[in-house]
A and B are shown apart, each in its own frame.
Chain A
Amino acid sequence: MNKLNTYRAGADEGGHFGIYGGRYVAETLMPLILTVEKAYATAKDDPDFWAEFHYYMKHYVGRPSPLYFAQRLTKHFGGAKVYFKRDELNHTGAHKINNTIGQILLARRIGMTRIIAETGAGQHGVATATVCALFGLPCVVYMGETDIERQAPNVFRMKLLGAEVRSVTAGTGTLKDAMNEALRDWVANVDDTFYIIGTVAGPHPYPTMVRDFQCVIGNEVREQITEAEHRLPDSVIACVGGGSNAMGLFHPFLDDEDVRIIGVEAGGHGIETGEHCASLTGGAPGVLHGNRTYLLQTDDGQIIDGHSISAGLDYPGIGPEHSWLHDVGRVDYVSVTDYEALTAFQLCTEKEGIIPALEPSHALAHVTKIAPELPEDHIMVMNMCGRGDKDIFAVAKHLGIDMGGIDQG
């Protein structure tokens, strides 16, 4: 395959990254999608829009998040020098807020007065409910019935923040069904409603727009690593569900050919078992939720629910730009199992005093595999995209530990 002059030019006018992306939505929504596209195209070139965005990034989210040299883990691995991008220190505890701030500013620009969102683990729901509280807009979050049960603390958080959490029982009651339901709401409320999608997926312009908001991660890393090491890293690594934290870290490095880029998918019980969420490793191209991308699906094109210990990676698709980067070979996508992620979760907690979310624990699990084999002058940056407070009950359960009187319900 010919090498491209740039990997950062997409999406094209129709929202495509190679054959991926696009605008596969019902006609009722199409005019609104075009309005969002136009509004974002204008906002993107407006310095005032970005000034406002960065104002909130600094004073509300707490950016820049630190780039932290994980000294004890580095010593433990005895190989590559490992840095964590500390996006788990953001307000609300994950990278999700970078995107929800960006989108709500856009929603306000086009005069929308009601916000809807989908959520799986509840992190995006919390981040959306948070910005709705901040700007005084009513917020409805769709969440699968199954997820509501396993993520009770986040459901309560959203309610405290004033959001209405609507339980989705259709289909299998998980993230993909929550997204279907949010799209149904949007179709019925096109006049006043803005849909804040939580990841780099959905119809154009969402994959591009969410990526641009999350690029604050990678842009900061470039500056911070240059300051710390006087050069760019040798590798950057992040977990991938829908893929927004990964895209935010990767995109600013796509054209630095010496930087190796690795995305880590959720391998669940193992790809061979069929119980996983690794769309790229174990799925095939298809069309869902407004875009063409790799999907977990049957031979008949029906969407299959994935499995992962991490609710945040539990989505049967992936952002279309990741699909393209996978096909053109610029990014290596690998997978790790639930068990490996759990082991990494414990290791990080013990060695660094950082309780990671189960999502970045997947990235760390891959770091534990490759870092020991790399030379000491290899600099690796991993995105610590969320903190693990929300996961301690799930982890306790998997470790067979009785939390006694502490009940997550």
Chain B
Amino acid sequence: MPETRIGRRFAELKAEGRSGLVSFLTAGDPNPETASEIMAGLPSAGVDLIELGMPFSDPMADGPSIQASSLRALKNGMTLSKTIDMVRGFRQHDHETPIILMGYYNPIYKYGVDRFLADAKDASIDGLIMVDLPPEEEGELCLPAIKAGLNFIYLTAPTTDDARLPMVLEKASGFVYYVSITGITGTRAAAIDDVRQSIERIRRRTDLPIAVGFGIRTPEQTAEVAAVADAAVVGSALVDLVRDNLDADCRAKPELVDRVLGLVGELAGGIRIAAESSTP
């Protein structure tokens, strides 16, 4: 039995013969209460792993949707400390769903790396995805995180060529996050043949599960990606739905939580269809 929640979850998915659904939402978007309510409903709606965005004022690799969600959360008083508390709240009812924090380094640097890792571990956070910490800067957070018992998930991109790939994979743990396009989140979708080829390229060099993200918005796309990868990540489409269900004063409409979880359910359905059609 794998030692980590992430490892166990991928082992379970493999046993079930299907790929996983990873949801991305920004912590505290549109406000801390609504965000916690959505998060609590994700597992039963069909999410297998939860990616929780740590809001940052300057998210350089994200498109307009996720930028705006960060700003909404910050405006409503979200902080890194409250993000960690949000996970603590979630863990009172769910001990199995892996939780991965995703974001940019500065808030963690300012919080203090040692203090952050201790608090993250204490809150049963399982892994970290850091957009602006490539392997060249592994000493900052990657190595300390591994030492603290957290998975550090590396991003690989279409630009990560064969010469560079081994270096990126060397310290990767949990899973590998393949950024399927050269671009920012929520813009366009990659051609599935390109994705398949890239995944084969990565698989030749690692036994870690591979998740694919950027540009996946619909159940059909999710099914397509699930057919070639171990997990599909959906972010901007969910974040857009949060935005679309705010009133003129940026308050959550009563139906917001159900709408978001409804889309999650459809996406999870896409994954299961992919599994059935690929069964020999």
Contacts and interface: CB of A to CB of B under 8 A. Distances in A.
Interface of A: 14, 22-32, 170-171, 176-177, 180, 183-184, 187-191, 284-290, 292, 295, 297, 299-303
Contacts of B161: 31
A187 B184 contact: yes
Contact of A26 (B80, B110, B111, B131): B131
Contacts of B131: 26
Contacts of B133: 24
B58 A27 contact: no
Contacts of A27: 134, 154-157, 159-160, 168, 179
Nearest to A180: B60
Interface string B51-72: 0000011111101100100010
B182 A188 contact: yes
B136 interface: yes
B80 A188 contact: no
A189 B184 CA distance: 11
Given A28-B155, A30-B160, A301-B107, 11 more contacts: A22-B136, A23-B134, A24-B105, A27-B155, A30-B159, A31-B159, A171-B57, A190-B159, A287-B105, A299-B110, A300-B111
A15 to B, nearest CB: 9
Nearest to B134: A30
22 contacts: A22-B136, A24-B105, A26-B131, A26-B132, A27-B154, A28-B61, A28-B157, A29-B159, A30-B160, A31-B164, A183-B60, A184-B184, A187-B183, A188-B187, A190-B182, A287-B109, A300-B80, A300-B81, A301-B56, A301-B110, A302-B57, A302-B107
Contacts of A24: 105, 132-134, 137
B4 interface: no
B183 A301 contact: no
Tell which of B56, B58, B64, B79 has the most Cβ of chain A within 10 Å: B58
A8 B187 CA distance: 43
Majority SS at the chain A contact face: mixed
A187 B61 contact: yes
A14 B155 contact: no
Nearest to B157: A28
A302 B136 contact: no
A285 B140 CA distance: 14
B123 interface: no
Given A26-B155, A171-B67, A303 B58 contact: yes
Contacts of B109: 285-287, 292, 301
Tell which of A23, A189, A284, A302 has the most Cβ of chain B within 10 Å: A302
> Ordered nearest first, which 7 A-B pairs have the shortest CB separation?
A301-B110, A301-B107, A188-B183, A28-B157, A302-B57, A26-B61, A24-B132
Contacts of A284: 110
Contacts of A25: 132, 134
Given A24-B137, A28-B61, A188-B182, A170 B110 contact: no
Tell which of B67, B79, B81, B182 has the most Cβ of chain A within 10 Å: B182
Nearest to B59: A180
A25 B105 CA distance: 10
B106 interface: yes
B60 A184 contact: yes
A17 B124 CA distance: 36
B108 interface: yes
A288 B164 contact: no
Contacts of B61: 26, 28, 183-184, 187
Contacts of B111: 300-301
A90 B173 CA distance: 53
Nearest to B67: A170
Tell which of B57, B67, B133, B184 has the most Cβ of chain A within 10 Å: B57
Nearest to A182: B60
B87 interface: no
Contacts of A303: 57-58, 106
A303 B71 CA distance: 12
A288 B159 CA distance: 22
A288 B106 contact: yes
B74 interface: yes
B101 to A, nearest CB: 14
A300 B61 CA distance: 20
A187 B107 contact: no
Contacts of A191: 182
Interface in B175-222: 179, 182-184, 187
Contacts of B183: 28, 187-188
B60 A300 contact: no
Contacts of B154: 27
B160 A31 contact: yes
A376 to B, nearest CB: 48
Nearest to A32: B159
B130 to A, nearest CB: 9
A292 to B, nearest CB: 8
Nearest to A24: B132
A387 to B, nearest CB: 32
A143 to B, nearest CB: 16
A207 B136 CA distance: 17
A118 to B, nearest CB: 12
B238 to A, nearest CB: 20
B179 A28 contact: yes
A282 to B, nearest CB: 15
A189 B158 CA distance: 12
A301 B79 CA distance: 9
A286 B106 contact: yes
Nearest to B133: A24
B117 to A, nearest CB: 15
A30 B136 contact: yes
A22 B107 CA distance: 17
Contact of B56 (A31, A188, A290, A302): A302
Nearest to A188: B183
A25 B130 CA distance: 10
A177 B57 CA distance: 10
Nearest to A176: B58
A202 B136 CA distance: 15
B58 A188 contact: no
Given A297-B106, A302-B56, A187 B182 contact: yes
